Structure 1
Amino acid sequence: MFGYYRLAAAVPNLRVADPAFNARQIIGQLAEAAAAGAGTVVFPELSVTGYSCGDLFFQTALQKAAAQELASLARATVEHPVIAIVGLPVLIGSRLYNVAAVLQNGRVQALVPKTQLPNYREFAEKRYFSAGASLDGRTVRLDAFDYDIPAGTDLLFDGGGNFQFGVELCEDLWCVVPPSCRQALNGAKLLFNLAACTEAPGKAAGRRERVVQQSRRCSAGYLFASAGIDESSTDTVHAGHALIAANGELLAENDRFQRSGSLIYADIDVDRLNNIRLSDTSFNDQPAGTGCRRIMLGSVPEAPDWHYASLVRQPFVPPPGPAQTEQLQDIVAIQCAGLAKRFLHTRAERLILGVSGGLDSTLALLIGCQTLQLLELPNDRLLALTLPGFGTSSRTYHNATALCRQLGVELREISIRDACLQHFRDIGHDPALTDTTYENAQARERTQILMDVANQQNGLLLGTGDLSEIALGWSTYNGDHMSMYAVNASIPKTLIPALLTHLGGSGGEAVAAILRDIIDTPVSPELLPTDGDGNLQQKTEELIGPYELHDFFLYHFINFNAEPAKLEALARQAFDGIYPAGQIRRSLKLFLQRFFRQQFKRSCSPDGPKAGSISLSPRAGYKMPSDASPDAWLAGLEQ
């Protein structure tokens, strides 16, 4: 489905030196994985014999039994149509190799030998096995098979489309330049590791970190399956650690020390990995080194559904926990550092800000205060202006003024009503006609006042517009679109509540209570008159759709170049039961139309710090022509 493939990492039960028993366990997990829709399953290192056979590896009986069961495992991939990657010792000539066998459609498609052979006290592999590079460029004929089998460390596997993968074994990942790096540079989007790691306190954390880091370094999916508790415990213990990561994100992990084996899955977006590489010049600038032989496999089916896909509804918002706190602190620090630099560089004496009681201006207010504290200046160096107009509600007005008083900033009120009425008379506009002119005149009047007060006070006017509004062009050109420094320029709307909650934690209960009510207030530009009871007549999300949908589209559109049909499918899965399909499609159409047609506003946007994964700055962010047509994208949505 749209480039997603279901992959599995398996840790079967095992008897040391009993290939027949082990093959049955592997086939059982193959059947289970195939029934779950997996396209590929990776098993631990030497999973056919067990890793801890010791000098029994020299025994002809064990070697022959392993070869015989390799044939039965290959046949099983006909009944259970998946790619199986299993580990076993293979005798080639007078040398024994620790290999990964890639099986599909009833055949052994290739043998990948281990590149790095450890020589530890607990297990000296060089005692038994030969280094794999000696097989590069070769094919081999094994006694149990009537066809030649490609063998070597120089193999790359191709299952059609963007489904290309490489294989390495355990210690290979821990060497200075893992084979998976070369495989990735030669086109592998998926990397499989067959391992047999012994356990020690703290070792699992380092293993997990290594797998996640390698997936990020290679912009790839990385699957790791390590030998389980049934290995010999003569001197060491194995725990059966299985991990699946993609581009620096851990997607799945099993519980170690399971006594019944384990099987974990993840649906990995391989097309996304390819798109990440497309825009990652540091990846593409790396030399691929010596080439890889390409092994053409039968086509691999995409995932049948989204059951194991990591689809987050609010991808800009870090998940709760210590990591969230750290990331929110980093965002605030970046905003404050950028503002402090601009404040000092311009030799401004004050910060100027229009406050409305909405999310955006509240965040800018808190960032302004934090920046002044960083510079060891009092909060009253920030001048906040409330500029009530025809649509200002009592709720937002009182929240804005109460928060300013709690924070100790200077607060000034200037009504824009009379000035706007005079402006309407000047241009011959009927104030009863509440159209675009009526709305934009208020936004531009506010900006005029703020700019002039900034000049008067030798101040720096803070912009309040957020990333979501900038993406949609949801601002008045040369009104709230303009400022002297846009501190929220890379902060999406869905992230602001988390930032306000984070910043309000140190302000006392009075500040926290105001912030909670601001978060709960419907988003509105407040440019149309309120009703007779003072309630809002204008709610942004009723006009353009939910911001969490637009932020979801923006995240996948910019970061991964997702096509419109895929954006819709991802959103329908992520928001299943929350928004109906029709609403998702309408919101997506509007997103695409506005993103293209409002680029002219972004082409002349003020400076602002990049504090997240996306910037739409025309200088250091997203670059596109102001007159590009959205028709090809809209047509793709209709297909």
Structure 2
Amino acid sequence: MTQNTLKIALAQLNPIVGDVSGNEAKAREARAEAARLGADLVMFTELYLAGYPAEDLVLKPSFQDACRAALERLARETGDGGPAILIGLPWKEGDHLHNAYALLDEGRIAAIRFKVDLPNYGVFDEKRVFSPGPLPGPVSFRGIRLGLPICEDIWSEDVVECLAETGSEILLVPNGSPYWRGKTEERFNIAALRVTESRLPLVYLNEVSGQDELIFDGASFILNADSSLVCQFPAFREKIALTVWERGSDGWACIEAPIEAVEEGDEADYAACVFGLRDYVDKNRFPGVVLGLSGGIDSAICAAMAVDALGPDRVHAIMMPYRYTSEESLKDAFECAKALGIRYEILPIADAVEGFERILQPLFEGRTRDITEENLQSRARGTILMSVSNKFGSMVVTTGNKSEMSVGYATLYGDMNGGFNPIKDLYKLEVYQLSALRNSWKPVGSKGPDGIVIPENIIHKAPTAELREGQKDQDSLPPYEVLDEVLECLVEKEMRVAEIVAMGHDLETVKKVERLLYLAEYKRRQSAPGVKVTKKNFGRDRRYPIVNRFRDQGGVAFAPDEALARAIGKPQQASADV
């Protein structure tokens, strides 16, 4: 008998990597909710039972066994006449391990499909752990032919073309697609292209999860065969909802589904940072966080994000003044803590810093005071925060932005100490933008207060590390308007020095920034993980050697465009300092 209606429950959930039993239990609860909604089928995301990405954990035989056992238990439960299940897991077939998607129905594993196109770029390294599957055909579900391309399988045409040619009627796509700025539009464009080519409706179901540096934002959606958007799930929040489908003369169409707003631009970036911090703290079972609150912009926005993520009762701020700490900074830190409603204490560090100096004096005698003594201040603060963490179990939030992490304007074992950094992938000017935004808006589900939580003076005053008298960031660095643009060209866009100079930047400034970028690699290797916001973050995306003597000389001698060569003048000798 031909079935002309279909009810699919979409489960946009937050699995935990490695928590097979917990993910199984959550799937069971979601299936019960789907049954209550009257669903025929409940759909979960890519590698749901394992959590995504499980990296080399999937190579562990006992982990593979645990995932298979969970799948078999869920399969048996579908014998109760309730909704069937579509769910992802690692699946061992002979000598090959696959990224698999299984249909569970009538008490058994009814069908299994393997991911064909394994991504191996940016944050992905699936070819390291999985074998690709063959081009798939549809699976039959109660007389309906379902195409099950898995995530990357829709980013090129081959898999969907094969599914369309072999009779698929609906494309159900499980995803583990991480967030970065502009990703939502990119997904829509890819999905719409596959719909246009295949003339099939498409369900794009994405997990919502924070996993180390990666944020999976959810934002699942459905496109009908005419590419119209008929369903939109929220970003950064779990949701289970019913979608209703009908078969017409032109095939299947979704006729009933929720449509909700999705954060975009700066709002999405801020929400991602909050969500990533919350998941990292909660999934690692920290009772709360502690951070140094200096009166500067970076620590202020991190404190706001921590409160939005965890609530004021789980955030502990400590001001650690020294002789160079201004009254303005003391006032700003206090006002910020007060606005956020968090625990705030002042622990002066003079005894610690001067104690270190006394210990080192015999070795340093006759030498001029320099950055060494400045760094003692930062390292004293780092030691205090780590001691509070050790004693009370709270995680240290580290607060360096991407501009600082790029050029090494941070102290190892000092202000770089910590477990997680919510602004690690935000340039300094973006930190200012998001701080101003937070004073007039907060994300859905935020546990922080409304209104101004970052004092306006913090946003408007000149940034300084306050490690010496009258110090300002711009004493050592180009203006952030210049620095951030040059860094984006070097890091995200991998542009030649010559190309950046042709944009109007000074050659010596660009060369200095490039040199600092290379020199700071060893620091970044030892930095805390942090939320990925841009298309190329430090860590999972950008992987550079520490021992590295390459320097871009400006490209003059090899510039294919003579006008570009003239624009930057004579080539300069690179510094021998490495």
TM-score of the two chains, using structure 1 as the length reference: 0.44
Max Rg structure = 1
TM-score of the two chains, using structure 2 as the length reference: 0.49
